[in-house]
Amino acid sequence: MVAMTNLGQSRGADLIVGTLGLQIKCQYKPGDLVLFNSHLVAHGITPFLADKKTGVYGKRTALVLFSHKSAVFHKPTIAAPARNLGSEFQRYGANVGSDLEGMAL
């Protein structure tokens, strides 16, 4: 599952989603929220385009949240793989410890 929102103004960078041989172009605007199952739907972003008058590309920040497993079909739990993330997060300065053991999402 993916949740995406757009925070900024730009031309281009439209979301393309495709399934069953169809491609759909979504021009989502700042503040819009897009949800879809990224495991089942192919997706991508079109290139950024410069403003026609100024030649400036503008600014855009996109927030994308996703899960590696389907939130619809599985009951996720924090198990051994999540506990093993501690070393990965510590490499980037985050603190993940034994407090994850036994927790369920």
- List C-alpha distances in Å: 16 to 39, 88, 105: 15, 32, 30
C-alpha gyration radius of the chain: 18
Q: What is the pLDDT of residue 70?
A: 57
d(CA 60, CA 27): 13
Yes or no: say if 57 and 10 are a contact pair by the CB < 8 Å rule.
Answer: yes
- Rounded to a whole number, what is the distance in angstroms from the first to the last CA of the chain? 15
Residue type, 80: A
Confidence of residue 88 (pLDDT cuts 50, 70, 90): very low
pLDDT digits over 21-68, tens only?
677 887 777 788 888 877 777 888 888 888 888 888 777 676 777 776
d(CA 90, CA 2): 25
- Mean pLDDT of the 88-103 span: 39
Q: What is the pLDDT of residue 103?
A: 34
Q: What is the pLDDT of residue 71?
A: 56
Q: Are strands 22-26 and 33-36 parallel, antiparallel or unpaired?
A: unpaired
Q: What is the pLDDT of residue 94?
A: 39
Report the predicted TM-score, pTM, of the whole model to 2 decimal places: 0.49
Does the structure show a pLDDT above 60 at 80? Answer: no
Yes or no: say if 5 and 34 are a contact pair by the CB < 8 Å rule.
Answer: yes
